Amino acid sequence: MSPLSSDLFRRAGSAPRRQTLSMMLVLLSVGCAEEVAMPNENAGNSAPAASGSADGKAGKSGEPPPVAFSEADFIESDESRDPYREYSSVFIRPVDDVSREIGRKVKASMFALDELKLVAIITRSKDRAMLVDPKGYGWILFTGDFVGRAELVSLGGSENQEIPVNWKVDRIRPDDIVFVREDTARPQIARTTRVLPLYPAGASHGGS
């Protein structure tokens, strides 16, 4: 309590005077608090200036400028590619096909046996070999695998009916693969054998 308020309490001789002085002091303190809580005039003036500068940067309308397109923008090129084009076929290795006519699993069934190239043979542990198709995919073969596109073989007789028959890996030897084409359910079809060498005649394989 300030010296002024203490002196007023000492001079007051009755309770009503003391109450009156107390109310005056409360009003004075409230008035001081209101005066302190008044906002700064400078701060109020700076707010509109900041918003005005922001509006100036955004432009008069507040919208981005229009973009002009030409017919060339919609033509696919190295700089502008179709985002919906499907490229998965480039990276997915083809799986073994199942022939609908024969109902068996066939490796590299899209290509004839003449189109496949023998590039490797492994005779340790379980014999296996690798063929490469024209697209550059490698196919691992084991004894008993069916390989290549089916060939139509005539059954003979008056109707001259033809059925599709696949080549099958009969043996894997150190320097070649022996394929056989036969149909055990139709003995009238002659058994045919074909040998695919690892090193064709005249090809160099690193030997002296």
Q: Which range in 56-65, 75-84, 138-147 is most confidently predicted, on average pLDDT? A: 138-147
Contact 73, 80 (CB under 8 A): yes
Which of 193, 191, 184, 189 is CA-nearest to residue 154?
A: 189
What is the dotted CATH code of the domain comprising 94-197? 2.30.30.830
Q: Who contacts 104 (Cβ-Cβ below 8 Å, separation ≥6)?
A: 98, 146, 166
Residues of the chain with CATH 2.30.30.830: 94-197
Q: Which residues of 143-178 are buried (b: 16+ CB within 10 A; e: fewer)?
A: eebbbbbbeebeeeeeeeeebebbbbbbebeeebbe
The answer, yes or no, to whether residue 54 has pLDDT greater than 50, is: no
Separation between Cα atoms, residue 148 and residue 132, nearest integer Å: 11
Taking all residues of the chain, what is their mean pLDDT, rounded to a whole number? 73
Of residues 77 and 165, more confidently modeled: 165
The answer, yes or no, to whether residue 196 has pLDDT greater than 80, is: yes
**Strand 128-132 to 138-141 pairing:** antiparallel
pLDDT tens for each residue of 115-172: 999 999 998 878 999 999 999 999 999 999 999 999 988 877 666 788 889 999 999 9
Question: Confidence class of residue 206 from pLDDT cuts 50, 70 and 90?
Answer: low
